């Protein structure tokens, strides 16, 4: 009769069995702990990766700003090339302010363009040919200025703008600055006009080397009478010597305004010369 295996195999003691079970549990626990630790470590590793990436970016920017750019500027300067300041090197707060100002100016320009046809005939107290009455304002030095004293001396070109030192207004003002000598050669005085206070006007004038005076009209004493409506804040007026209103351009574009005003003044001069020649 064959012998059964269970009868011939050695029996394991209960201690061995328990030890094996304990070892299996320990292995499972160790595996679970390892998985848990791995999951916890992932966010920390990801965060560390971001820190490393951010630090590397800062280091790259610092090298570019403090090493590459100065070297490039020196080379450009030696070559006689004017290098402008890079936008990304400017403070973010300044960039945000500039964008907000540009958005405000763009909004004004869109309103001007949209309502220009509607308001082409819009005017204040005066129409072409009227004598503009005297009004006393302050200039950028906070000194009183009589409008009559200005146009009694010479004919005037007065342009208005919404707010000093904003992009669109600066574009307009610098345009008048760049051709100011041509107005002077024709015998005309140029004046900027807005609701800004003298301190803001002076700061802006100094910053951009504007070669003409800026008038302050916070109470709309002159702006309203001349026809600078809420929808069309950018305008220009041409006033003859003695105060007669020759042109009222209501709702103008900042980039085109200076040249358009100059062309009108030239047309007056040319017309006068031709008239004298015919006589």
- SS3 of 54-101: the string is HHHHHHHHHHHHHHHHHHHHHHHHHCCCCCCCCHHHCCHHHHHHHHHH
User: Using CA atoms, how far apart are residues 247 and 186, in angstroms rounded to an integer?
Assistant: 16
pLDDT: which is higher, 7 or 30: 30
Q: Establish whether 216 is a catalytic residue.
A: no
Quick one: tokens of 1? 């009769």
pLDDT at 119: 42
pTM: 0.58
Write down the catalytic residue from 169, 174, 216, 235: 169
Q: Identify the pLDDT of residue 64.
A: 74
158's enclosing H/E stretch is: strand 156-160
The Cα–Cα gap between 258 and 157 comes to: 10
Segment among 13-27, 182-196, 252-266 with least mean pLDDT: 13-27
C-alpha torsion sign, points 210, 211, 216, 217: negative
Q: At residue 275, does pLDDT exceed 50?
A: no
pLDDT at site 279: 40
pLDDT-derived band at 104, boundaries 50, 70, 90: low
Better pLDDT: 51 or 139: 139
Model confidence pLDDT, tens digit, residues 153-173: 999 999 999 999 999 999 999
Q: Is the pLDDT of residue 45 over 50?
A: yes
């Amino acid at each position: 009769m064959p012998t059964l295996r269970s009868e011939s195999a050695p029996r394991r003691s209960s201690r061995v069995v328990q030890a094996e079970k304990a070892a299996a549990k320990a292995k499972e626990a160790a595996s679970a702990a390892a998985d848990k630790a791995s999951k916890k470590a992932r966010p920390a590793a990801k965060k560390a990766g971001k820190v490393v990436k951010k630090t590397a970016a800062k280091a790259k920017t610092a090298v570019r700003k403090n090493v590459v750019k100065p070297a490039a500027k020196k080379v450009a300067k030696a070559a006689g090339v004017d290098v402008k300041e890079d936008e990304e090197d400017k403070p973010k707060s300044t960039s945000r302010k500039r964008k907000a100002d540009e958005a405000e100016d763009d909004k004004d320009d869109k309103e001007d363009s949209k309502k220009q046809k509607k308001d082409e005939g819009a005017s204040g107290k005066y129409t072409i040919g009227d004598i503009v009455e005297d009004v006393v304002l302050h200039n950028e030095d906070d000194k009183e200025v009589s409008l009559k004293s200005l146009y009694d001396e010479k004919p005037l070109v007065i342009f208005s703008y919404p707010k000093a030192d904003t992009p669109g207004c600066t574009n307009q003002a610098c345009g008048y600055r760049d051709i100011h000598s041509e107005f002077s050669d024709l015998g005309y005085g140029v004046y900027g006009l807005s609701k800004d206070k003298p301190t803001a006007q002076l700061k802006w004038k100094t910053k951009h080397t504007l070669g003409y005076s800026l008038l302050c009209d916070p109470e709309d004493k002159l702006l309203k009478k001349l026809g600078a409506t809420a929808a069309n804040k950018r305008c220009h007026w041409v006033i003859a010597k003695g105060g007669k209103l020759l042109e009222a351009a209501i709702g103008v574009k900042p980039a085109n305004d200076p040249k358009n005003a100059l062309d009108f003044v030239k047309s007056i001069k040319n017309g006068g010369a031709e008239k004298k020649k015919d006589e």
